[in-house]
Structure 1
Amino acid sequence: MEKRTVLVTGIGGNVGQGILRNIRSLNLPIRLIGTDIASFTPGNHLCDVSCQVPYSYDESYIPKLQDIIQTEKVDLVIPSTDYEVYYLSENAEKLNTVVVASEAKTAKIYLDKYETYKYLSSNGIPFAKSWIASEYDFSEKEIIAKPREGRGSRGILLNPEKPNQLPQGYMIQPLSKGIEITTAVYVNKQGNLHGLFTMERSLTNGTTTESKVVFQFDDEMKIIADKMIALGGLVGSFNIQSIVTDEGSIVPFEINCRISGTNSIRHNLGFQDVKYAIQEYLLNEIPDEPKPIEGIATRILMDVVYPNSNDFDKLNNNSVSHIIY
């Protein structure tokens, strides 16, 4: 196989860094380009080249990506953030490469949790009941308020005293109590469900810190995923976050229209969605069948140390001497 070039966005975050590590683990002749809004990130040491880019909604973002794609001869782009999925998909025809991203109109719906609720519920797919904050009817004993757009746990409020007076852009959902699960789903090139993988998880600041593979919810999650896929527009990997209530009901409450942050964990537990994307969109191969196994994972803090360095701008690729400790 001749050497190919893959660009991964958002390498300052755990999603992008997981994608990079997964690709490296395949031991294929792949050159990795990483992009981020910062010039120096923890993901730089995983890349052959790293490039600073504007925010995806900035008018200069697509021209900058076009330049990088042309200069570095990029064969494939894998976005790791929700907004980049949308903007790259919307501008896919301007990019002289392949982008693994859901259709723009679908990605845009899933950027907004309230629009997600309206879209899925109107199509008979379960999703947590939701209200725009100013229209909340006080029908629930306990509620959670969250920004309609955004990621992780930023801005979340439990049982706010005056939910109708929250800033514009907030929405309300019932505060469902139970087990939180995260389900990764991969849609193949034919638009069919290739497989899914579910874990119980604990979060710190919106990031999974502990997780355990579970299989007992797969049948019900498959029904939900198949219905979502049948609506069209989903490409590659996406993620469903749900609560399993004390009564046993599964209540999805957020959809991430991208590869999720636990990609590096599940890669080692038999569900390798980054590999499937590489196989389908870079190598033109049929992706391997998922073979999930039981397992538990936790995350630790590690250091990337650059001895004898004093200039952040020079620490932009894996050729710079460094220690992982």
Structure 2
Amino acid sequence: MRLESVLVTGAAGDIGRGMSQILKDIHFIDKVIGVDINDQFPSHLFYDYFRTCPKVISNNYMDIIETIVKMYDIKLIIPTSEPEIRFFNKNKISEIAGVKILMPSFNIMDLAFDKYETSEFLKKNGFPSPWTYEVANSVPLEFPCIIKSKDGSGSKAISIVTEKNYVEMKKGKEDWIFQELLLPNDEEYTCGIFKAKNNEHLKTIVFRRTLSGGRTGYAEVVENTIISNFLNEVCKCIDFSGSINIQLRLTTKGPMIFEINPRFSSTITFRHQLGFKDVEWSILDHFGELNQIEFNDKSIIGKKIFRADNEIIY
């Protein structure tokens, strides 16, 4: 298989930049083109060609992306910006100008982009999960707990709710959710999941992590059969394909999922370097070229990752 050109949207973001490095490392991809609303970054260090585009909510967004697809003879589109992925999912757009968009299947996005629905699904299928209530229709089961956006992602917009700040914290957040505060804090895990279209391949990688600025700042690859078996059982209950990320905490009740991110994770770069090549597997699977997966997770147990920002002068 040969892909002459691949388009990455959200190209200036952390996932987009990581994606560009991975795509350049894949031998069957010739050129990587990036688009983003931000033109104040060194695009020449990451992409063969770069174009600016408006936000996805703009009326001319689709027309401009279609023009870029035709201009560079794009063979595959990989969105890395969550607003764009949500837009494509909401409008059930799977291709632009006849070129396929690489995303997880719509059903997992429909489920995971609504945090209340995610909780209800887990509860319905008998999986331990944090109690979750809609702010508009209920009060917290106990304090302290957390409050977060029902359709948000990541840990930046999460706050602790106590009896003292309860009234203030819920103001203007009727469409948010209250959720159980899972403990202990040092038992948080981010888990990469890849599932092929034919359900033949299911691969997982588990990191015990520490957050920094709302994203994984430190991580260690761990071998935990309780978590791995739990992930396998959850994935059997969802008929999906693609690469997703599951966030959970290991509690006294067992693993409890508090978020499913139906997109490529910001951890894709170091996952790829460790041999968990879910971007490459997803592309091959998309074109029906995924025959087997070689991934030796035993050899990387204990590997540690420290994430730091770099300054670039250009």
Give 1:172 shift.
0.7
Residue among 275, 278, 292 paired with 2:280: 275
Give 1:144 shift.
0.6
Give 1:2 shift.
5.0
Higher relative contact order, chain-length normalized (CA < 8 Å, sep 6+) = 1
Instruction: Output the CA distance in 1 between the equivalents of 2:84 and 2:228.
Output: 26
Give the aligned partner of residue 234 of structure 2. Answer: 227
| CA 138–86 in structure 1, closer or farther in 2 if over 3 Å, else same | closer
Amino acid at match of 2:25: S
Residue among 155, 159, 174 paired with 2:180: 174
**CA deviation profile, 1:253-301 (whole Å, cap 9, x unmatched):** 0010011111111112221111212333358242532222120010122
Give the aligned partner of residue 212 of structure 2. Answer: 204
Amino acid at match of 2:255: I
Asked if 1:250 corresponds to 2:255, the answer is yes
| CA 230–83 in structure 1, closer or farther in 2 if over 3 Å, else same | farther
Does the 8 Å CA contact 2:140/2:179 hold for their aligned counterparts?
Answer: no
| CA 224–301 in structure 1, closer or farther in 2 if over 3 Å, else same | closer
- Give structure 1 regions of 4+ aligned residues with deviation exceeding 4 angstroms: none
Give the aligned partner of residue 139 of structure 1. Answer: 141
SS in 2 for 1:305: coil
Give the aligned partner of residue 22 of structure 1. Answer: 22
Amino acid at match of 1:187: K
Give the aligned partner of residue 154 of structure 2. Answer: 152
Instruction: Output the CA distance in 2 between the equivalents of 1:201 and 1:2.
Output: 36
Does the 8 Å CA contact 2:128/2:254 hold for their aligned counterparts?
Answer: no
Matches within 5 A, 1:176-191: 176-178=182-184, 179-191=187-199
Does the 8 Å CA contact 1:82/1:257 hold for their aligned counterparts?
Answer: no
| CA 107–63 in structure 1, closer or farther in 2 if over 3 Å, else same | farther
Give the aligned partner of residue 267 of structure 2. Answer: 262
Moved more, 98-107 or 261-270: 98-107
Does the 8 Å CA contact 1:276/1:287 hold for their aligned counterparts?
Answer: no
SS in 1 for 2:188: strand
TM-score by length of 2: 0.86
Residue among 302, 310, 313 paired with 1:302: 310
SS in 2 for 1:267: helix
Does the 8 Å CA contact 1:136/1:164 hold for their aligned counterparts?
Answer: no
Does the 8 Å CA contact 1:62/1:88 hold for their aligned counterparts?
Answer: no
Does the 8 Å CA contact 2:105/2:242 hold for their aligned counterparts?
Answer: no
Percent of residue pairs bearing the same amino acid type: 25
Give the aligned partner of residue 319 of structure 1. Answer: none
Amino acid at match of 1:115: E
Give 1:193 shift.
4.3
SS in 2 for 1:212: strand
Give the aligned partner of residue 202 of structure 2. Answer: 194
Instruction: Output the CA distance in 2 between the equivalents of 1:171 and 1:182.
Output: 21
Give 1:29 shift.
4.2
Question: Matched residue pairs, number?
Answer: 303
Does the 8 Å CA contact 1:81/1:258 hold for their aligned counterparts?
Answer: no
Give 1:28 shift.
4.0
Give 1:143 shift.
0.1
Give the aligned partner of residue 241 of structure 1. Answer: 247
SS in 2 for 1:7: strand
Instruction: Output the CA distance in 2 between the equivalents of 1:231 and 1:120.
Output: 10
Does the 8 Å CA contact 1:192/1:229 hold for their aligned counterparts?
Answer: no
Does the 8 Å CA contact 1:11/1:44 hold for their aligned counterparts?
Answer: no
Give 1:27 shift.
4.1
Residue among 112, 128, 147 paired with 2:130: 128
**CA deviation profile, 1:132-183 (whole Å, cap 9, x unmatched):** 1133333213201111122322332112422554522221111111211000
Does the 8 Å CA contact 1:66/1:96 hold for their aligned counterparts?
Answer: no
| CA 95–187 in structure 1, closer or farther in 2 if over 3 Å, else same | farther
